[in-house]
Each structure stands twice: as C-alpha cells, then as structure tokens.
Structure 1
Amino acid sequence: MKRYLVGGAIRDELLGLPVRERDWVLTGVTPEQLDAAGYLPVGKDFPVFLHPQTKEEHALARTERKTAPGYKGFSFHTGPEVTLEDDLVRRDLTINAIARGDDGVLVDPYGGQRDLDARVLRHVSEAFCEDPVRILRLARFHARFASLGFSVADETLALMRKMVADGEVDHLVPERVWQETKKALMTDAPGRYFRTLQDCGALARIMPELSALEGVPQRADYHPEVDTLVHVLMCVDTSAALQLPLETRYAVLVHDLGKGATPQEEWPSHRMHDMRGVPLVEKFSERLRVPAACRDLALVHTKEHLIIHQALELRPSTLLGLVERIGGFAKGERFEQVLQASICDARGRLGFEDSAYEQADYLRAARVAANEIQAAQVMADGISGAAIGEALKERRTRRLKEWKEQRKAQS
C-alpha cells in the first residue's frame, strides 16, 4: 500500500495559504485490507475510509465512467491495479491534481505546479466536461484566488461553454448550486464567481434573473458604470470588503433584479424596480432553495432600498414607517443588516467606492429618537387595547418631528 496527500492541501501549501483539510489517496490496497487494519468505512458512492488514529479521510484510488447526464451519472472502479495517475486524471483542475507521497516527493503528472506559478485555472482532461458541478467549482476558485491574479485558461473556458451548450448545466440540482454559490459569496471577490459563470453562459441557465441584468443601462449621472450587472457585482464585492455576513451579501446580490424587468422604452430610468424586484427575488430564492434568513432579508432590502436612499427627505410619519418596516423596533440584527446592504448599494458604483452614506447614521439616530417613546408610557396614561398602537405611532411621529427640527437648527 502507498499513501499520498492530494488535492487542496497540496495546492494551498504551494500557494503559501493555510491548509484547511487533508485528503489522502491509497493505492495497492483493497477495502478488505483496510477494514482489517482498523480503517472505518464512510463512503456512500465509493470507498472512503477514516484513518483509525487521525480520522482523516483516505480514499481508494479510482477510475470513473460517465453513465448518465448530470453530476451523479457516474460509475466508479477501485482496485489494487488503479494507479495514482489514473486517479489524478479524473480531477477537475491541474492545480488540484498534485500529490505527495509519504516520502515527501511531489507527483505532478498534469502540470499543476506550472499552472500554479502561471496563476491559471486549467482542466486536467476532457473528463472535466462530464460533471457540471466543475463549472461552479472553477468559478468559485476564480473568486477565491482573485487576489492572487488567477485567470481561466482559454481552452477551459471554451470547454465550459460547450458544456452549457450541451445542456449539462441544466442537470444541476438547486441544493448544489446554492452550496457552491454560498461558498463563493463568502470569498473576498464574490463578483468574480458570477462574472465567470456569465462568461461561459452558465449564469443564464441557473440564475437567469441575474444574467438578464447585463447590458441593462442605468442613468450615468447616478451610475457611471452604466451596466446594471456591473453595478450589482461591484455591490457584492463591496459587501465582501466590509466582511458582511452571508445574509447581507445575498440581499445585496439580488436587490436590483427588478431592473431586468424594466420595459426598454423606460431605459435608462428604472422607476418601480423595487416593486418589480420583489416577486423576482421570491422566485429566485425559492428556485435555489435559499435559507429563509437570506430570503427574508433580501425581500426587505429589495422593497425598501429606494426609500432608504431618500431617508433625509422623508416626512416624520413616513420616516417612522420606514424605520419600523426595516426592523427598527424589533429584536435581532435586521435593521443594521438592511443599512449595511444599502451602504453596499451606494458604494457599488464607479467612482463612489469610498463614499460616505449619511442615510445610515441618519436612520440609526431616528431609530434612537423614536425608541424614546415606549408602549409602557402610553399605557401609563390610561390608554388600552387597540388605541395603544395608534397613540404610540402618533407620539413617535411627533418625537421624530421634534428631532428633525433640532437637527435642522443645529446644522
């Protein structure tokens, strides 16, 4: 039996990055021999074992054969005769097809070290086109390694486009699309993930609402970048730069879907794109089976982001309603998450990347002022039942009017 450390552990080590997990490949051994040696079998689709001491995953070297469309249509073969090179050739990218034996010698039959040095994402073999998940994984690696200057090899991009044309991407299940998208959103350059999918045609098949934003113009005085998809991806990258949580990054990603539904005769204006966007965000989230926390925040921000930008001009009653709708009087983090998403929207524009966003602090201060009036104070005055809510609203509106007048006098 021979043992090799493979894949991401070797890649990240050679790139000088922290190694998150270690996977091993074994050759010259049978499942029965591993079982006798105390390894614990855990693989469902092919033989994977946990080491009796380290509990790290050890897989038998294997070959595979395409048997049906999609990413589950494979049959696998393992045996003592399967070589390490046989196993590595089935991997997705050359940078993930490097191994190191227990003797410390690197095994790199497909040029992975060369592509690491050249900062190129390149498929190992034509077997890449048999698994559509590899398109998502490559796009995610492109986002993850964006700061290192990686690009996609021309021949690999051409192969990805062929896979899309052949309908392979149509077999991706929502759970797997979201799993890869979630990971990509949490990288430092998530916009690169969606741009790569758009460049190969996959985005139009799995996220058509987002793909439809490319080429949709916006008013250049508000959006010097003009193109709506460019704006959205700038916003998402801003959310990463601010190190915001997944829910907020997702809300930023989908907040302008309504611009894709604007009639062309109205371009470059996008009146009512907030309301047009709400059902699109619902459909998008349902199709990808996005977690409820992501979906709910996205719906609130999509519906309210235009009026948030106008916060400084709102009348007290309108301002109070906005603060309430975005979670200003409820427990939890939604209020601040919506404001952070709006900051990303404001800064995700060419030339505005570092701009201030006065509306956020304004709404925070308005929330504090309105919260000075509590229901207990209303009830202490003898008001009860349904009248409590109306009285609370009236008093908070009056307090916000005073607060606005005080701010004006101080300015």
Structure 2
Amino acid sequence: MKIYLVGGAIRDKLLKINVKDKDWVVVGSDIQSMLKLGFKLVGKDFPVFLHPTTYEEYALARTEYKNGHGYKGFKYYSTPFISLKEDLFRRDLTINAIAQDNLGNFYDPYNGLKDIKKRILRHVSSSFKDDPLRVLRVARFAAKLKYLNFKIHDSTLELMKIMSNSGELLYLKPERIWKETYLALKSNHPHIFFQILKKCNALSIIFPEINQLYGIPAPVKWHPEIDTGIHTMLTLKIISQLTKNVSTRFAALCHDLGKGLTPKKLWPRHPGHGIAGIPLIKKLCKKLKIPNNYKILSLLAAKIHDIIHDIYNQKPIDILNIYNIIDAWRKPERVEQIALISEADARGRLTLESLEYKQGKYFINMYKYISTLDIKNIINNFNLKGININKKIQKERIKLIKYFLKLKN
C-alpha cells in the first residue's frame, strides 16, 4: 500500500496559497484493509475514508466511466491494482493532477507542474467533458487564480463550449451550482467566473437572468459602456474591491436584473427597473436554493440602489423610509451594504471606476447620527403605549434627519 498527497493541497502550496485541506489517494489497498487500519468509511458513491486521528480524507485509487447524465452519471471502479497514473487521469485539470509521496517526490504524469509555472488551466484528458460541473469549476479556478495571471487553455475553453452546447449542464443540481458560484464570489475576481461562463455559452443556461442583460443598452450619458451586461460585470468587479462579504457581492450582481425586462420601445431608459427585477431575483434564489439573507439583501438593493445616488435631494420622510425599509434599526449592517452596492453601481461604469462616491458615506453618517436617539428614554419618560411609542420614535428620528441636513448644508 502506498499513500500520496494529491490535488489542491499540492497546487496551493506551490502557488504559496494557504493550504486548508489535504486530500490523499491510497494505491494498492481495499476497503477491508483500510477499516482494519482504523479508517472510517464515509464515501457513499466511492470509497473515501477519514483518517482515525487527522480526519483528513483518504480515497482509494479509482477509475470511472460515464453512465448517465450530470455529475452523478458515473460508475466508479476501485481495486488494489489501479495505478496512481490511472487515478490522476480522471481528474479535471493538470494542476490538480499532481501527486507527492512521503519523501516529497512529485509524480506528475500530465505536466501539471509545467502548467503551474506557465499559469495555464488545462484539462487532463478528453474525459473532462464527462462531468458538466467542471465547466463551473474551471470558471471558478479562473476567478480564484486571476491574480496570479492564470488563463484557460484554448483547447479547454473549446471543450467547455462543447459541454455547454451538449445540454449536460441542465442536469446539474442547484446545490452544486450554488456551491461553485459561492466559491467564485468569495474570490478576488468573481466577475471572471461569469465572464468565462458567458464565453463558453454556459451563462445562458446557468444564469439566464444575467445573460439576458448583455446587449441591452443604457443611456450613454450615464453608462459610457452602454451594455448592461458589461455594466453588471464592472459593478461586481468594484464591489469585490470594496468588501469581501459574499451576500453584498451577490446583491450587487443582481441589482439591475430588472433591466432585462424593459420593453425595447423604452430603451435605453429603464424606468422602474429596480422593482421589475424583484420577481427575477426571487426566481433565481429559489432555483439555486440561495440562502434567504442573500435574497432579502438583493431585493432591498434592487429597490433602493438608485435612490442613494440621489440622497441629497430626498425629503427627510423619504430618507427615514429607506432606513425603515432595510430594517436598519435591527440590521445596522445593511446600511453599509446598501451604500457599498450603490457605490459599486455608480463606479461600475467605463471610465468612472475611480469616481468618488460621497453619497454612500453621507447615507452611512446620517444613519450613525440618527442612531444616537435614546429609545429607552422615550419609552421610560413619555406616557405612551403601543403604536404611539413608534410614532414618537419616528417623529424624533425625522427631527434628527432635519438637523443633520442643516449641519451638512
């Protein structure tokens, strides 16, 4: 029996990325032998074990073949006679198909070390196309490793197009799509993920709501880039520079979905696009089983992001209404989230990326000022009950907003 470290741990170590998880492959063993050594069997579809002390994953060397649709349409074959080379052959990218023994020696039959050096994302073999999830995985790796100048090899991108056009992506489970999307949104360049999906014809299948935005014009006065799809990617790029919070990034991605429903006769204007986007956001979140807090923030951002642009001209009652709508008093973090999304929207335009967005800070500082109101004092010192308490609080908040506006004018 021989044990090798494989996959992402080797890749990340070579790229000087913090290694979080280690995966191991076991050659020359079987299930019974592993159990006798104290390993715990956890794999449902193929033999994967947890180490008795480190709890790291150890998988028996295996081969696989396509036997149906989607990423689950596989049959796995594992015996003590399967070689390390055969096991690595089934992996997605050459940079993930490197093994290392306990002496530190690399086993690299598919030139992954060379591709790491050249910063290339390249498929190991034509069997890559058997697993449709790999289209999303490669797009996600492209986003994750963009800062290291990794690029997808032309042959791999061509294979991804073939996979997208085959109909196989339709069989992907929502949970798997969201997992890859979530990991992409966590990266430094999540817009690359969606751009790659667009490039290989997968965006129209996985995210038709976003794909629909491409080719839809916006007024050149406000949007030098003109195309709403391009604007959406620029917005995602900016928001990712402003915050690492994934729910905020996702909400920024969805902020203009309503423009995909604007009748052509109204182009390039998009009146009411924020409200129009609400059903699309709900549908997308339901389809991919996206967490509820992501959905709520996205709905709020769609409704409000344009209003923040015009915050200086809003009436005190309307400003208070914004804070009430986002439930800022119980969810204060939403104030900054909405401000950042509006900033990303304003700066996510060609030639305007360095724009100083004062409205966001204004919106945040006004909230901080209003939050100085002593609610307990109102409850304890005024003889009020029920709804009258809330009316008094709202009245006092209006006074503070008016005073804040005087101080700033």
Alignment TM-score, normalising by the size of structure 2 = 0.94
Aligned partner of 2:398 in structure 1 is 397
CA deviation after TM superposition for structure 1 residue 243, in Å: 3.1
**Structure 1 ranges of 4+ moved more than 6 A:** none
1:175 partnered with 2:175: yes
1:190-236 C-alpha deviation (Å, 9 max, x unpaired): 00001111111111111100111112122222222222122212222
1:325-345 C-alpha deviation (Å, 9 max, x unpaired): 223333442222211222222
Aligned partner of 1:307 in structure 2 is 307
- Range with greater deviation from structure 2 (170-179 or 335-344): 335-344
SS in 1 for 2:64: strand
Aligned partner letter, 1:165: N
1:82 partnered with 2:71: no
User: What is the alpha-carbon distance in structure 2 between the residues aligned to residue 201 and residue 187 of structure 1?
Assistant: 22
Q: How many residues align?
A: 408
Aligned partner of 1:210 in structure 2 is 210
* RMSD over aligned Cα atoms: 1.8
SS in 1 for 2:25: strand
- Range with greater deviation from structure 2 (308-317 or 371-380): 371-380
Aligned in 2, Cα 1:397/1:59: closer, same or farther, shift over 3 Å?
Answer: same
User: What is the alpha-carbon distance in structure 1 between the residues aligned to residue 8 and residue 189 of structure 2?
Assistant: 19
CA deviation after TM superposition for structure 1 residue 383, in Å: 4.2
User: What is the alpha-carbon distance in structure 1 between the residues aligned to residue 368 and residue 18 of structure 2?
Assistant: 43
User: What is the alpha-carbon distance in structure 2 between the residues aligned to residue 364 and residue 94 of structure 1?
Assistant: 47
Aligned partner letter, 1:402: Y
Residue segments in structure 1 that go unaligned for 5+ positions in a row: none
User: What is the alpha-carbon distance in structure 2 between the residues aligned to residue 13 and residue 259 of structure 1?
Assistant: 43
SS in 1 for 2:271: coil
Aligned in 2, Cα 1:384/1:52: closer, same or farther, shift over 3 Å?
Answer: closer
1:358 partnered with 2:383: no
CA deviation after TM superposition for structure 1 residue 263, in Å: 1.4
1:235-280 C-alpha deviation (Å, 9 max, x unpaired): 2222222233111111111111011111122222211111111111
1:47-82 C-alpha deviation (Å, 9 max, x unpaired): 112233433221111011111111101111111111
Aligned partner of 2:26 in structure 1 is 26
Alignment TM-score, normalising by the size of structure 1 = 0.94
CA deviation after TM superposition for structure 1 residue 124, in Å: 0.8
1:260-304 C-alpha deviation (Å, 9 max, x unpaired): 111122222211111111111111111111101111111111111
User: What is the alpha-carbon distance in structure 2 between the residues aligned to residue 243 and residue 363 of structure 1?
Assistant: 17
User: What is the alpha-carbon distance in structure 2 between the residues aligned to residue 133 and residue 168 of structure 1?
Assistant: 9
Whether the 8 Å CA contact 2:335–2:367 is kept in 1: the answer is no
SS in 1 for 2:4: strand
Whether the 8 Å CA contact 1:258–1:275 is kept in 2: the answer is yes
SS in 1 for 2:226: coil
Aligned partner of 2:61 in structure 1 is 61
1:126-154 C-alpha deviation (Å, 9 max, x unpaired): 11111111111101100000011111111
Aligned partner letter, 1:407: K
Aligned partner of 1:225 in structure 2 is 225
1:59-116 C-alpha deviation (Å, 9 max, x unpaired): 1110111111111011111111111111111000111111112233211111212221
User: What is the alpha-carbon distance in structure 2 between the residues aligned to residue 350 and residue 186 of structure 1?
Assistant: 24
- Range with greater deviation from structure 2 (268-277 or 30-39): 30-39
Aligned partner letter, 2:17: L
User: What is the alpha-carbon distance in structure 1 between the residues aligned to residue 335 and residue 135 of structure 2?
Assistant: 36
Aligned partner of 1:265 in structure 2 is 265
- Range with greater deviation from structure 2 (16-25 or 268-277): 16-25
Aligned in 2, Cα 1:312/1:84: closer, same or farther, shift over 3 Å?
Answer: same
1:378-406 C-alpha deviation (Å, 9 max, x unpaired): 56444444334334434433442333233
Aligned in 2, Cα 1:331/1:241: closer, same or farther, shift over 3 Å?
Answer: closer
Aligned partner letter, 1:403: F
Aligned in 2, Cα 1:158/1:405: closer, same or farther, shift over 3 Å?
Answer: same
SS in 2 for 1:5: strand
- Percent identity reads 42
Aligned in 2, Cα 1:7/1:118: closer, same or farther, shift over 3 Å?
Answer: same
CA deviation after TM superposition for structure 1 residue 377, in Å: 5.6
Residue segments in structure 2 that go unaligned for 5+ positions in a row: none
